[in-house]
Amino acid sequence: MGNEMKIAIYGATGMIGSAVVAEAVLRGHEVTGLSRRGGQPNAGESTASLRSVRGDASDPSSVRTVAAENDVVVVAAGPSREPGGDPRAFLDLVRVVMGEVASTRLVVVGGAGSLLAAPGTRLIDLPEFPEAYKVEALAQSEALDLLRAAGPELDWTYLSPAPEIAPGAKTGIYKLGGDSPAGDRITVPDFSVALVDEIEHPAHHRERFTVAN
């Protein structure tokens, strides 16, 4: 391929993280899939270029080592949905990663709640926004604020999905948007295609973008 990169992916065993791992491996990149339990992501049949390790994005020294060994660090570990979990712990995780990636590019899988329904009005601000997802969406929105406040030395990208993201077919086709939704939904495989496309051909330095089918 000629442009193979070393990509570290936190949250590699989650729904989105495992799809990003699979897409990056499919394209021939050298992928390190990190998760707290160290499980094996589902990367399809080809796993020669995949290394699965236990890794905690809230551990500064570990993140520093991972960043030094890779061209891109992807955070696909979102706010906790586990019973008794603290969704806002995600913010501390993002802070740690931001402080330790140094000159390594950072790509964060974000949420849709911070997308704008109208100027000055986020989707999360709408009365019909599901209450069950509000704390999680607020944490993801604050993570975007943290990135936007970072100094120019941090090369970051924040990718928001469409308001509805779910398993489905991989078409390889998607629409791009900025701070407003590009459409109502996107499949997990096509979201992953868009994310790896952005890694290979950076077009959104220090900004958020969104994709939809």
Q: Give percent of the chain with pLDDT exceeding 90.
A: 83
**Does the pLDDT value for residue 9 go beyond 60?**
yes
Confidence category of residue 36, pLDDT binned at 50, 70, 90? confident
Return the pLDDT at 189.
98
Give the single-character DSSP code of 55.
-
* Higher pLDDT pick, 46 / 66: 66
Return the pLDDT at 198.
98
2 backbone φψ class: left, alpha, beta (φ>0; ψ -120 to 50): left
Question: Residues 71-85: what's their mean pLDDT?
Answer: 87
| Entry pTM | 0.93
Q: Are strands 116-118 and 121-122 parallel, antiparallel or unpaired?
A: antiparallel
Q: Can you name the CATH fold of 6-212?
A: Rossmann fold (3.40.50)
| 136: three-class secondary structure by DSSP | helix
Parse the chain into domains and list their residue ranges.
6-212
Strand partners, 13: none
Q: What share of the chain is helix, strand, coil (3-state, %, to 5)?
A: 30, 25, 45
How does pLDDT run across 160-201, given as a tens digit for each residue?
A: 999 999 999 999 999 999 999 999 999 999 999 999 999 999
Long-range contacts formed by 44-49: CB under 8 A, 24+ apart = 49/25
Q: Give percent of the chain with pLDDT exceeding 70.
A: 94
